Chain A
Amino acid sequence: MSSRIDHHHLPINGQILPQPCPHLVEFRSRNGAKPFRALQDCLRVKPPGGHASIRREPNEVPRCGACGESGGVTRLYACLACAAVHCHAPPGPSHAAVHGESMSPGHEIAVDVDRAELFCCACRDQVYDRDFDAAVVLAQTAASTLHTPSSIVRSPHPENLRKRRRVDYRPWTPDPRERVLVGSCSSPLNATVLDSCSRDFPSGLRGLNNLGNTCFMNSVLQALLHTPPLRNYFLSDRHNRYYCQKKSTVVNNGSKSNAGNPTDSRICLACDMDEMFSAVFSGDRTPYSPAKFLYSWWQHAANLASYEQQDAHEFFISMLDGIHEKVEKDRRKTQSQGNGDCCVAHRVFSGILRSDVMCMACGFTSTTYDPCVDISLDLEPNQGGSAKMVSTKSNHSCNGEADHMNLSQNCGTSTLMGCLDRFTRPERLGSDQKFFCQQCQVRQESLKQMSIRKLPLVSCFHIKRFEHSSIRKMSRKVDRYLQFPFSLDMAPYLSSSILRSRFGNRYFPFDGDEPDASNKLSSEFELFAVVTHTGKLDAGHYVTYLRLSNQWYKCDDAWVTEVNESIVRAAQGYMMFYVQKVLYYKASEKRVVP
């Protein structure tokens, strides 16, 4: 199979339509898209959610008009000009080709009756057309909707998905007046500490003191301190702790006394983060003690406030929640977490997951969208047996290079992409979990499939290494190694890709596709932090590896050391943080306050 073809039409989300052969071009110029639309009446989709096929009558059994063959390796093609059906079975006879030749010109283009694929009898090859694919998709989606706008195709976005238009990035530097202003209200940082070899170390690299079983907190804080959009937010003074505290004091004094704890409104995890960013990026390299942060967090998460070691992921969620909650109390900001308008925590980490539940009886699909700040992934259930090789989803490459195949087949390793494949795989809901189908009006067995409708700026993947058996009343930690890439392309897990593959990979804009080609870039992520856990369930240790200027550092509480990337690749990842390679800027919704 040939791979790359020259662009001919505008791409949809990285897809390209190959250049049509001269026979298809002529067919199009002579007939337009009419024959494809006429085919729609003959498009049958069976079973629900299955392939489309072409049948004049529902129970028609097509056969070659010349020889009566049907079935097996023999493909049957219906001529688009005269509807005659002929066989094509290379290297055997091709009555389809004969038909095309003998009735030439105008009868070269036919359609595979079992697969709804266009075929050029002259070129003897499958060909592709945008309008034909559109007709097939529309026929396929007709069954899954209740005569309401389909959530399959691109449609007006629901509230939480509405996007703002993109604007060009404009670099900024202070003008002379601003420079004076900045200079008058601040003082320069100390020169960076140089080591014995007089090397410069990245700013913001600073150990965190363990305050007593707090490595779970330190590990997550280190990752957050180096999460690019979060770091930029705080270092750009977008949350000024002095201003925030002053405001909440005013609010406090102004409001009537209530039963609530009067100090509550002064707790602000974002303020504590602001203080931590200032300290960690100050140039002082002695370990910082996040004591104030711990104090504030314990007041926010009362049920987690104890000296015992906690779970790092639980802390991460609790912390983001703490930042969000404070914002909600402050102003009547939009609660919409999905597009991150509510607070910096959601702005950075929140994505939107799409869940499709399809009735297996009629094909009706019900779709819901939910925001999420991270993705928790199960490790594969059995070791060795379910080896994730290369993607089994959209790729059946004929690449037969021996060592590549051996590598993936023999290692039987769990991989992050394998976990994501499983996360987005269609899952049959058991007969005890029947879903109410709006079309059938009864509970039916269903197929559920997750996909990512909107990627966050920063993707946090949490690996469920804790196995809890309520039957045996015990818990255990899964130490199995999980391979994770340093560069990750999330495109195959997007809703548009998942939908596209569900509908036979047709050339069509699906929900989530961008009109421009920028989607390809915005699905590429780079790893920048890994939180690892070593040791046993009840006695273990968290450590974070950070990637700064392509050098990896190990942050083990107060101790920051340099490590080779092999150490990171071989480590037991518990939480992996990836950031979008390319950031896009959106027009601000509100007017900028000078």
Chain B
Amino acid sequence: MSVPNEDKMASHAQLSSHFFGDLLDSIIVDVASECHRIARLGLDRNLEEEEEELKLSAQARERVADPNNSGEANSKYVVDIFGQTHPPIASDIFECMNCHRPIMAGRFAPHLEKCMGKGRKARLKGTRSSTAAQNRHSRGSPVSTYPPYPNSTSTNQLSNGTSGVAGEEYSNGTFPES
């Protein structure tokens, strides 16, 4: 009848429960034994130091997020620690080591690119168009139709394309996003 079956199921359930309990106990003892060894052999990591660092970082983030705190001033418009101010585009003039013409510091890289015949713009002389600008913006994508040479294969670069459109070669992409 149904009673012996129920008994059987009950004892099955008990048995599985018993085995499970044994397994679980055994695993707990494993962990206890490992911890004992780690503690006795002095292998514990410097928990306190790690916790301290975590706490300091959490506090720091709170402090920085607090609107009452004066945040980092946008340093382009401040006086530096030596008491100096600087124009947004570096205005020092020096001689280009390739063509020996005087060049302004903040415009040196775009100048050098053309001067050395490197980079896309130099090779694409005469093909300035909106498509060129489009491709510059999508520089992060794996397939780019313009560059005749392969870009570095590193997939972890934070490449920042130039801001601005085709005609503006000297746009300065150095201002931080606000």
> Interface of A with B (CB < 8 Å)?
1-5, 11, 14-18, 51, 71-73, 75, 112, 114-115, 117, 126, 128, 193, 195-196, 201, 205, 207, 209-216, 285-287, 289, 291-292, 294-295, 298-299, 302-314, 376, 390-391, 394-399, 404, 407-408, 411, 413, 415, 417, 462, 464-466, 468, 470, 473-475, 477, 481, 483-487, 489, 491-492, 500, 504-505, 507, 533-541, 543, 553-554, 556-563, 565-570, 574
CA distance A213 to B136 in the complex (A): 14
Q: Does B6 contact A (CB under 8 A)?
A: no
Contact residues of B between 94 and 126, Cβ < 8 Å to A: 94, 96-98, 105-110, 112-113, 116, 118-121
**Which positions in B face A, CB cutoff 8 Å?**
21-23, 25-26, 28-31, 33-47, 49-51, 53-61, 63-65, 72-73, 75-76, 78, 80-84, 86, 89-90, 92, 94, 96-98, 105-110, 112-113, 116, 118-121, 136-137, 139-143, 149-152, 154-163, 169-170, 172-177
Known: A73-B26, A561-B81. A298 touches B43 (CB 8 A): no
A215 to B89, CA, bound (A): 12
Residues of A close to B34: CB separation below 8 A = 396, 504-505
- Least CB distance, A134 to chain B, in whole angstroms: 14
Q: Given the interface contacts A303-B151, A390-B51, A486-B53, does A2 sit within 8 Å of B39 by beta carbon?
A: yes
Q: Is the CB of A540 within 8 A of B61?
A: no
Q: Which residues of B contact A474 (CB under 8 A)?
A: 140-141
A415 to chain B, nearest CB (A): 7
Contact in complex: B40, A540 (CB < 8 Å): no
A211 in contact with B106 (CB, 8 Å)? yes
Contacts of A304 in B (CB 8 A): 152
Asked if residues B151 and A505 are in contact (CB atoms below 8 Å), the reply is no
Q: How many angstroms between the C-alpha atoms of A391 and B54 in the bound complex?
A: 12
CB closest chain-A residue, reference B77 = A559
Q: List 14 A-B contacts (CB under 8 A).
A: A72-B23, A73-B26, A126-B37, A211-B107, A289-B90, A291-B112, A294-B112, A391-B50, A394-B45, A398-B35, A474-B140, A485-B53, A539-B160, A559-B78
Determine whether the beta carbon of A298 is less than 8 Å from that of B41: no
In the complex, A305→B28 CA distance in Å?
A: 59
Of chain A, the residue at the smallest CB distance from B39 is A1
Identity of the chain A residue whose Cβ is nearest the Cβ of B83 in the assembled complex: A195
**Centre residue among A71, A201, A309, A563 by max chain B CB count within 10 A:** A309
Least CB distance from B155 to A in Å reads 4
Knowing that A201-B81, A468-B156 touch, tell me 8 more A-B residue pairs with CB under 8 angstroms: A2-B40, A117-B37, A292-B97, A307-B119, A394-B45, A538-B139, A538-B159, A560-B81
Chain B residues whose CB sits within 8 angstroms of the CB of A18 once the complex forms: 40-41
| Alpha-carbon distance between A308 and B118 when the two chains are bound, in angstroms | 11
